[in-house]
Amino acid sequence: MPKVLISDELSARAAKIFMERGVDVDVKLGLSPNELLKIIGDYDGLAIRSATKVTEEVLDAAANLKVVGRAGIGIDNVDIGAATKRGVIVMNTPHGNSVTTAEHAITMILALARQIPEANASTKAGKWEKSRFMGTEITGKTLGLIGCGNIGTIVAERAQGLKMRVVGYDPYLSPENAKRLGIEKLELNDLLKRADFITLHTPLTDATRNIVDANALNKTKKGVRIINCARGGLVDELAMAAALKSGHVAGAAFDVFEVEPAKDNVLFSFENVIATPHLGASTTEAQEKVALQIADQMADYLIKGAITNALNMASVSAKEAPILKPYMTLGGLLGGFLGQVQAAGITGIVIELDGKAADLNPDPIVAATLAGWLGPFMESVNMVNAAAVASSNDIAVSTIRHDRQCDYESLLRVTISHMGGERTIAGTLVGGNKPRIVEVQHIAVESDFPPYLLYLRNYDKPGFIGDLGSLCSKHGINIATFHLGRREAGGEAIALVEIDGGLPASVLPKIRGLEQVVRVDSLQFPPLGE
């Protein structure tokens, strides 16, 4: 039974979900880094929020870890690169707190427009400064969204309900989607010039860091108000302080900061700045929702192999998983075949999907094929890190989905390029789920993937079968099945020979010494289902 550790405060219902789904669970909160290091090796999964730091050191100690689940969207506390390198899936819940965070941004807009925090403090201090707090209406004002993803589009919908005009900058927002959402799509400079309020809803990347800097602020209209409930570092805080001091920016509302916890920040001295301690996702409903979602996602992966909201792996829904699994198994076996046939100077791999396979989600099939291929000659390779391993070794990976008539209901073909040329193998599914080889080196030859298989390239000449059979008999090797294929009579041929038990190392050179044999490789495959 898979075993999961919950190391941060999650809803008690999350643990119940794990147990109901057949996953053993331990809840151990407040662990020190050393305490976590001592026990993490016992677990297949780790469920966290923001307190637990999943460092490279933790991942090194996590010998059995398969998945880290973050209840929430931010994954700053997880070393994704190290997790990928070690084949650990990292998943989050990007949609679970979208509404809550969007509502916080709208609240910030309204509070900023009417100076609610300042007026509240003044009134409670016994003052009655009615004339001091002159606000501004938001009706008819232009809201500029930097980032129009899940949260940004919810903010747009709410703002439109408040009769604001909404413009947006997002390189990934298509004109069709912008029109459907009622957002006028603009380039960033145009948005900065037109917006009365600007809200940010984008992840922090190299491209978005300090996207609102001194240069950007100089392009905004005088009196603009800026709200950041997304990520600290999107706004240059020193530049913002200067713009507030000059009066160019009328006010700002920040829920996130470059350094958190933010206990001493350059923006805190301004009365017209609203600051909250990263509360965007802090509602009872959101915390419950993300906790239950991450438990479901992790259980789906550990029990069914379904992958949802992974940050370093292609997603496979619970509905897709049983359909894709036979194809992933086939891809892994075909890759494993080529991976065991040594080749020098590998430069690339091409994975082709034909027939029904061409209509499926290709990413998990490709990942399984790469893992099967790289596994025999590289340590600790699995579906999560196979693509990264290939890339780090300058191996080009290509995927081709064919839209054409196919001789088989489904077909996968794997071809590697190497210093001496190419090697290729193709396979299909018999009966919908049983993997079978149908072609090697463009020669038609059929075989299952037995535990022990001899792959021979030979000349099609009389006596080959007899010589091989005699040699195997002499050394007590029983031939279970024998599959032959050839290009033409007397030309190049291939034999796939299933044997009972492994081939002794001493026998392999003797088979290579047979007159008709060009090459022989002794291959092993795991029993199906493992």
Q: Write the DSSP assignment of 121-139 as a string of letters.
A: HHHHTT---TTT------T
- Could you say which of 20, 56, 137, 260 is catalytic? 260
The percent of residues above 90 in pLDDT, for the chain, comes to 73
pLDDT higher than threshold 70 for residue 70: yes
Strands 45-48, 67-70: pairing is parallel
Question: CATH 3.30.70.260 spans which residues of the chain?
Answer: 450-523
**Where do we find the tokens 């747009």?**
156
Q: Where in the chain is the domain with CATH 3.30.1330.90?
A: 323-448
Q: Average pLDDT, stretch 128-157? A: 94
CB atoms within 10 A of CB 443: 16
Per-residue pLDDT reduced to its tens digit, 371-383: 899 888 776 788 8
CATH 3.40.50.720 domain locations along the chain: 3-95+285-304, 98-275
258 contacts 210 by C-beta, under 8 angstroms: no
Catalytic site residue from 49, 225, 231, 413: 231
The answer to whether 285 is a known catalytic residue is no
Contact between 445 and 496 under an 8 Å Cβ cutoff? The reply is: yes
Instruction: With CA atoms as reference, report the closest residue to 255 among 100, 96, 51, 76.
Output: 100
Q: Catalytic residue at 352?
A: no
DSSP 356: G
Is pLDDT larger for residue 306 or for residue 482? 482
pLDDT of 203 over the 90 cut: no
Q: Architecture of domain 323-448 in CATH? A: 2-Layer Sandwich (3.30)
pTM score: 0.65
- Concatenated DSSP letters of 18-52: HHHTT-EEEE--S--HHHHHHHGGG-SEEEE-SSS
Cβ contacts of residue 64 below 8 Å, gap of 6+?
41, 42, 43, 44
410-441 pLDDT, tens digit each: 999 999 998 878 999 999 999 888 999 999 99
Length of the chain: 530
Give yes or no for a contact between 406 and 354, defined as CB atoms under 8 angstroms apart.
yes
**Mean pLDDT for the chain overall:** 92
Count Cβ atoms within 10 A of the Cβ of residue 326 and give its class: 0-12 exposed, 13-18 middle, 19 or more buried: middle
CB 40, CB 63: distance < 8 Å: no
Beta strand 492-499 pairing with 479-486: antiparallel
Q: Which of 70, 278, 413, 457 is catalytic?
A: 278
Which pLDDT belongs to residue 379? 67
- Given a cut of 60, whether residue 530 has pLDDT beyond it is no
Q: Is 165 an active-site residue?
A: no
The CATH number of the structural domain formed by 450-523 is 3.30.70.260
* 98-275 CATH pick, 3.40.50.720, 2.40.128.720, 3.40.50.620, 3.30.565.10: 3.40.50.720
Strands (E), 192-339: 197-200, 224-228, 249-254, 273-275
DSSP state of 151: H
Q: What's the pLDDT score for residue 48?
A: 96
Give domain 3-95+285-304's CATH architecture: 3-Layer(aba) Sandwich (3.40)
Q: Using 50, 70 and 90 to split pLDDT, how confident is the model at 153?
A: very high
Average pLDDT, stretch 380-393?
A: 82
Kindly report, residue by residue over 247-288, the tens digit of the pLDDT. 999 999 999 999 999 999 999 999 999 999 999 988 888 889
Confidence of residue 446 (pLDDT cuts 50, 70, 90): very high
